[in-house]
C-alpha cells in the first residue's frame, strides 16, 4: 500500500491555506469544519474519528483545490472495533 501522496497532492498539501475535516453522513447531513493549520486538522481528526468512523480530511490550497489526507499516517482511522463497542 502506497502511503505517499503523488506530486499533485503533495503540492496542494505543501501550499495549503486551510484544512477541512468532514464527518460524512448520508442524506445531506454531513458536517464540515475548516481549520487553518495542519496541527489543528490532525488534532480535530483524531478526536472526531473516535466517534465517527467516516471522517475525511482534506488540505485546501489558495485556488480551492483539495487533496485527501486520509492516506497519510497522521490521518489514519482509529480502531474500528472501539467504535462498534461504544454503540449499544
pLDDT of 87: 45
Cell of 34: 475548516
The pLDDT, as a whole number, for residue 6 is 85
Distance CA(79)–CA(49), nearest Å, equals 9
What are the structural domain ranges in the chain?
A: 7-83
pLDDT in tens, the chain (88 residues): 567 778 999 999 999 999 999 998 888 888 899 999 999 999 999 999 888 888 999 999 999 999 999 988 888 865 554 444 444 4
Short-list 56, 48, 49, 46, CA closest to 22: 56
Amino acid at each position: 500500500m502506497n502511503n505517499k501522496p503523488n506530486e499533485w497532492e503533495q503540492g496542494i498539501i505543501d501550499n495549503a491555506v486551510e484544512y477541512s475535516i468532514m464527518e460524512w453522513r448520508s442524506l445531506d447531513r454531513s458536517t464540515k469544519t475548516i481549520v487553518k493549520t495542519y496541527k489543528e486538522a490532525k488534532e480535530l481528526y483524531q478526536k472526531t474519528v473516535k466517534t465517527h468512523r467516516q471522517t475525511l480530511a482534506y488540505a485546501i490550497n489558495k485556488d480551492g483545490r483539495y487533496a485527501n489526507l486520509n492516506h497519510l499516517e497522521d490521518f489514519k482511522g482509529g480502531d474500528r472495533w472501539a467504535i462498534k463497542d461504544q454503540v449499544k
